[in-house]
């Protein structure tokens, strides 16, 4: 199973990704987690990424595409993978398609977790209190949301045109949202 988990910041991608990777035994690849680890370690990548992340801007395409190409080669667990937070731009999606095509592979589905802006801002504010993520401050969060709507959301058309887009309502309890995702994933597995 090769899927992309898609949606605005604080849609619950990370939480759902953990459950999905456990239940379906697929590797969870989060570019946000990889970048945060690099920032923490203070590597060259981390120093570069931090300047974008703290403003809520996207890290340049060539940088994240390089990371993904490297990780995809290593993470072939046999059961597939789930991308969380990648791709976020059309060039990233095209680079992913190219890399997978070369390996005679393709994405099975893009699960888009749908949450309205008002709810997102409330969730980010709550997460800030619990996790203290710098990019969850109200100002940066608003920018991340704007970046999502302008640069990332257009990908829905890209994947809809490829008949890969599956929209799931992200409102409700964690297990309610997971049940909706499970219904979609099981239908995909059933079709394979």
Residues that bind ligand AMP (CB under 6 A): 9, 31-32, 35, 52-53, 56-59, 64, 85-88, 92, 135, 144
State in angstroms the smallest separation of the CB of 32 from ligand AMP.
Answer: 2
Residues 2, 36, 55, 127: which is the catalytic one?
A: 127
Q: Which CB, 151 or 160, lies closer to ligand AMP?
A: 151
User: Closest CB to ligand AMP belongs to which residue?
Assistant: 32
- With beta carbons less than 8 A apart as the criterion, state whether 135 and 144 touch: yes
Catalytic residue list contains 133: yes
Q: Which CB, 9 or 170, lies closer to ligand AMP?
A: 9
Q: Which CB, 58 or 166, lies closer to ligand AMP?
A: 58
State in angstroms the smallest separation of the CB of 190 from ligand AMP.
Answer: 29
Instruction: Using alpha carbons, select from 186, 169, 190 the residue that is nearest to residue 20.
Output: 186
With residue 3 as reference, give the H or E element that holds it. Answer: strand 2-6
**Given phi > 0 = left and psi -120 to 50 = alpha, else beta, which region is 2?**
beta
Catalytic residue list contains 123: no
User: In this structure, how many other beta carbons lie within 10 angstroms of the beta carbon of residue 112?
Assistant: 21
Tell me the C-alpha distance between 89 and 18, whole Å. 23
- With beta carbons less than 8 A apart as the criterion, state whether 145 and 9 touch: yes
State in angstroms the smallest separation of the CB of 83 from ligand AMP.
Answer: 9
- With beta carbons less than 8 A apart as the criterion, state whether 68 and 32 touch: no
Tell me the C-alpha distance between 133 and 57, whole Å. 15
Q: Which CB, 21 or 92, lies closer to ligand AMP?
A: 92
State in angstroms the smallest separation of the CB of 18 from ligand AMP.
Answer: 13
Catalytic residue list contains 173: no
Residues 2, 36, 55, 133: which is the catalytic one?
A: 133
* Active site residue ranges: 13, 88, 127, 133, 144
């Amino acid at each position: 199973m090769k899927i992309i988990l898609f949606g605005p910041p604080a849609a619950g991608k990370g939480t759902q990704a953990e459950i999905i990777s456990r239940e379906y035994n697929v590797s969870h690849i989060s570019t946000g987690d990889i970048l945060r680890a690099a920032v923490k370690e203070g590597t060259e990548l981390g120093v570069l990424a931090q300047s974008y992340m703290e403003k809520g801007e996207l890290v340049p395409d060539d940088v994240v595409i390089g990371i993904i190409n490297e990780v995809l080669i290593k993470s072939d667990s046999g059961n597939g993978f789930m991308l969380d937070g990648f791709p976020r731009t059309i060039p990233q999606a095209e680079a992913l398609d190219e890399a997978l095509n070369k390996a005679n592979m393709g994405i099975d589905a893009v699960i888009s977790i749908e949450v309205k802006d008002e709810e997102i801002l409330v969730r980010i504010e709550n997460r800030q209190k619990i996790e203290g993520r710098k990019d969850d401050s109200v100002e940066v969060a608003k920018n991340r949301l704007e970046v999502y709507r302008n640069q990332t959301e257009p990908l829905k058309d890209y994947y809809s045109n490829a008949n890969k887009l599956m929209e799931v309502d992200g409102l409700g309890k964690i297990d309610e949202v997971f049940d909706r995702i499970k219904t979609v994933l099981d239908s995909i597995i059933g079709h394979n």
